[in-house]
Structure 1
Amino acid sequence: MTPPQKLYQRIADQIAGDIAAGRYAPGSRLPAERDPAETFAVSRPTVREAMIALEIRGLVGARKGSGIYVASPLPGTAGPSPELDVGAFELIEARTLFESEAAALAAAAIDEAQLSELRALLTQMDAHDEAGDDLAADRRFHMIIAEATGNSLVASAVAQLWDVREQSPLCVHMFAQARRVGVTPRANEHQLVVDALAARDPQRAREAMRAHLRRVTDDLLEATKLDLIQKAQADYAAQRERVTARTGV
């Protein structure tokens, strides 16, 4: 049975079809995020994932800091659109559901050895704040909490979500954009989770994990916006250089 098409894929394919049909000409500006969000009745993060998917396919890009534009010229005709799998926003939504409840369960069952390992990982992640993120330490931090629930199915589900984080091309692309603009895991947010676990407070642990993952979503929204702005600035600088060269100024 063929799995249902993901929302971002449906939107990306619709816009790609509109571009192919000439509704959006090469070099023309696409509507702002809120317009397709209303048209397709989806969230802004879903629209952002669709735009990034179109960018990966070479159909759109940022120009002059004013939004998303159709590529000019358009790339040559290719085969079916690539399967980019799960985007970062969809992943974080699922992680919030699973890992917030996992943290609440872990608060009642975590042992001192697991708390000690979490604290050691906090030190390790804090040391990477300047040098960049430590994905292995971040994953291990969250897996210890899942394992502390004592439920093998919870641990398996969380591990699968992290596998998606590391293997989905669209997800990898979006987190790479975040790293390029300096977004890395925050050790202080992880510290609040550890504090709640050490206090054996399920509700506090749930809220700390939920707040942490909500912040990841906010950071990704800002990072992808900043990435587009940087591309627009680079495009403007290159254009200005060409004009200067032609005019001899």
Structure 2
Amino acid sequence: MQPKLKLYQNVARKIEQGIKDGAYPLGARLPPERDLADKFGVSRPTVREAIIALEIRNLVEVKHGSGVYVVHLPAMEENLAELDVGAFELIEARMMFEGEAAALAALAMTDDELRELGDILVKMEDVDPASAEELSFDRKFHLSIARGTKNSLIEQTIETLWDVRETSPLCKHMFHQARSSGINPRPSEHRRILDALSTRDPAASRSAMRDHLRRVSEDLLVVTELELIEKAKKEIGDKRRRLVGK
């Protein structure tokens, strides 16, 4: 039985088939992101994950200020499952699990555990942004909250999600792209989570965690923004037309 493909894998497969069938020939520019999202009935983040997956496989190239172009034809059937989970899918799962974990931890964490969480945050604030140390403290911060729920299954689930973040090739590629663009963990948002936990307020803790993860998703949307490419191309075309008209 064939494993069920993820949404981005289905979209990537369909675009790849379009390349094979000649709908998107070698050298052609793919339709804008919004058009692809409408065509395949998926969200724009899903289209972005599909494009990035095809880019990793060297089938397309994103040319900033121009668009996404077909640069190679598929040589043979490849296993898209090897790219595993995309960052948007992962954040969606983290938002659900870690949001509820924060709400539970607000009532279950001991004062000592909250102090330890504060120590981790102080260390995160003191290291260089985007350093290996900051990323390590980021993970420790979130897993400490999961451990604070006193529920081993919740802790294991959230640890597994963090393992996926660090092992999935597609996820690693997207987060590396974010760090290369200067987008790093925000200690101030972690401080808000700690403050909410310290007040023993489940609703505020849930909200702080979900807001933080929502911001992570928004940062990735900016980094992987394909719509900006189309906008830049249109602006260049408009300028050229104005110049010709003078």
Please tell me the TM-score bracket, short chain as reference.
0.7 to 0.9
1:84 alignment counterpart? 83
Closer/same/farther in 2, CA of residues 191 and 174 from structure 1, 3 Å limit: same
2:19 alignment counterpart? 19
**Equivalent residue of 2:90, what SS?**
helix
Closer/same/farther in 2, CA of residues 76 and 102 from structure 1, 3 Å limit: closer
**Equivalent residue of 2:184, what SS?**
coil
Closer/same/farther in 2, CA of residues 80 and 141 from structure 1, 3 Å limit: same
1:213 positional shift = 0.3
Count matched residues.
227
Q: Which amino acid in the other structure matches residue 75 of structure 2?
A: T
Distance in 2 (CA, whole Å) between partners of 1:48 and 1:132 is: 26
CA RMSD of aligned residues (A): 1.9
The one-character-per-residue Cα deviations of 1:118-147 (angstroms, maximum 9, x if unpaired) are 111112222235453622211111111111
Say if 1:183 and 1:219, in contact at 8 Å, map to a contact too: yes
1:61 positional shift = 0.9
Mapping of residues 74-153 of structure 1, within 5 Å: 74=72, 77-82=75-80, 83-130=82-129, 132=131, 134-153=134-153
Say if 1:107 and 1:205, in contact at 8 Å, map to a contact too: yes
Say if 2:20 and 2:74, in contact at 8 Å, map to a contact too: no
1:205 alignment counterpart? 205
Closer/same/farther in 2, CA of residues 76 and 85 from structure 1, 3 Å limit: closer
1:29 positional shift = 1.1
Say if 1:132 and 1:184, in contact at 8 Å, map to a contact too: no
Distance in 2 (CA, whole Å) between partners of 1:204 and 1:131 is: 27
Q: Does 1:185 align with 2:206?
A: no
Give me the TM-score of the superposition, normalised by structure 1: 0.86
Closer/same/farther in 2, CA of residues 200 and 131 from structure 1, 3 Å limit: same
2:9 alignment counterpart? 9
Distance in 1 (CA, whole Å) between partners of 2:172 and 2:4 is: 22
Say if 2:24 and 2:70, in contact at 8 Å, map to a contact too: yes
Percent identity over the alignment is 56
Closer/same/farther in 2, CA of residues 64 and 194 from structure 1, 3 Å limit: closer
1:49 alignment counterpart? 49
Q: Which amino acid in the other structure matches residue 117 of structure 2?
A: L
Closer/same/farther in 2, CA of residues 92 and 128 from structure 1, 3 Å limit: same
Closer/same/farther in 2, CA of residues 35 and 150 from structure 1, 3 Å limit: same
**Equivalent residue of 2:61, what SS?**
strand
Distance in 2 (CA, whole Å) between partners of 1:177 and 1:101 is: 29
Q: Which amino acid in the other structure matches residue 191 of structure 1?
A: R
Shifted more, 107-116 versus 121-130: the winner is 121-130
Q: Does 1:58 align with 2:58?
A: yes
Say if 1:58 and 1:75, in contact at 8 Å, map to a contact too: no
**Equivalent residue of 2:83, what SS?**
coil
Give me the TM-score of the superposition, normalised by structure 2: 0.87
Closer/same/farther in 2, CA of residues 119 and 171 from structure 1, 3 Å limit: same
Distance in 2 (CA, whole Å) between partners of 1:38 and 1:79 is: 26
Q: Which amino acid in the other structure matches residue 182 of structure 1?
A: G
Distance in 2 (CA, whole Å) between partners of 1:43 and 1:131 is: 29
1:64 positional shift = 5.1
The one-character-per-residue Cα deviations of 1:77-133 (angstroms, maximum 9, x if unpaired) are 134244200000000000000000000000011112211121111122222354536
**Equivalent residue of 1:68, what SS?**
strand
